[in-house]
Amino acid sequence: MHYEGIINHLNSVSPENGWFTEHYGGIAPANGQPSEQHDGLKKPWQIHNTRKLDGIRSEIERMGLSPIEEAVALTSLIMGLDRVDSTIGHFASYLREWSKRSYKMLQLEVPRLFISREENEVLQRDIFDVSDMEVDLAYYDPPYGSNNEKMPPSRVRYTAYYHVWTSICMNDKPELFGKAKRRVDSSDKVSASIFEEFRKNPSTGRYMAVEALERLITSTRAKWIILSYSSGGRTTAAEIDSMIRNCGQVVEFVKVNYKRNVMANMRWTNEWLNGADSPNCEYLFLIHKG
Ligand SMILES: C[S@@+](CC[C@H](N)C(=O)[O-])C[C@H]1O[C@@H](n2cnc3c(N)ncnc32)[C@H](O)[C@@H]1O
């Protein structure tokens, strides 16, 4: 298979010290105790894997791959690194003690690929720049974060959680800050999303995130919209409930409990609000805009 050659080649690349090792590589002491790094910070990977990462990332750059080949190589690298990390799934902070898997050696595998027979177009823009495109169905999975008004939006931001993957894809060696060594462009002032803003608008008294969602649904030129909502706070759920009712007709409603792995179809009544603050639940609303 075509990609096997690329992935095998990348697996054989020699480890080297580089930017990722300097900032994200840590050393495990032989006695298995929590380790103190050269800069006193906890790290998401052990140094044997960041050295592999440095070698492989430079090689991907050197190989002159086509955009699709490069995407496959980077996907494989990210998935491989995810299997040997020492985090709880995000990069806002790192574990005090090394995870078991972090001792393993990074090994790339060919990702599960499929060929789409349809014409697809991928756009990476602010949603408000594209929400007026005419489509049959729009699926929105916006971030919600917390309902805690005192919590700054940065605490729940995607850019703050996944900054390392961005740096691996872009390979731009950005300026970093803080204990987790985040990219400066993931800092509070630069990249907050309005959907992660849980303060109220002083002039309307409504949550700004809910107002943004309302603006989004209203501006969307789609016959159908599927909106997902992750459980957070009851007040916010109530606001979301009435906001959706104002914007269109909800024809179906599904509650997914990830922890128990159950899915329930519910009548569209505001009964869903009773359980809306239970953790690990996702709600899907099918809205008909006509
Ligand atoms: C809950 S995640 C979606 C996850 C996605 N469904 C998946 O399976 O990978 C929310 C996403 O919305 C993006 N986002 C937040 N504000 C946005 C905006 N104004 N325009 C476009 N995307 C935005 C975030 O960067 C984040 O990737």
> Looking at the predicted structure, is the pLDDT value of residue 269 above 90?
no
- For ligand 1, residues with CB inside 6 Å are 126-127, 141-143, 158, 193, 195
Residue 6 placed within a domain: yes
- Ligand 1 centroid distance, CA of 129 (Å): 14
- Ligand 1 centroid distance, CA of 51 (Å): 31
Same domain, 94 and 235: no
CA proximity to 43, closest of 100, 96, 109: 96
- Ligand 1 centroid distance, CA of 143 (Å): 6
Residue 85 placed within a domain: yes
Same domain, 238 and 141: yes
Same domain, 238 and 140: yes
Ligand 1, atom 24: closest residue by C-alpha: 158
Atom of ligand 1 nearest to the CA of 127: 20
Q: Name the residue with higher pLDDT: 218 or 188.
A: 218
Same domain, 143 and 228: yes
Cβ-count burial 127-161 (b if 16+ within 10 Å, e if not): beeebeeeeeebebebebbebeeeeebbebbbbbb
CATH number for the domain harbouring residue 223:
3.30.950
> Looking at the predicted structure, is the pLDDT value of residue 22 above 80?
yes
What's the average model confidence in pLDDT over 100-129?
Answer: 94
Q: Is the pTM of this model over 0.85?
A: no
> Looking at the predicted structure, is the pLDDT value of residue 83 above 70?
yes
Name the H helices within 109-252. 127-130, 158-161, 163-170, 208-219, 234-247
φ and ψ at residue 33, rounded to 5 degrees: -75, 160
CA proximity to 145, closest of 121, 125, 131, 161: 161
Amino acid at 216: L
Q: Which domain holds residue 55?
A: 2-103
> Looking at the predicted structure, is the pLDDT value of residue 75 above 70?
yes
- Tell me what pLDDT residue 54 has: 98
Same domain, 243 and 276: yes
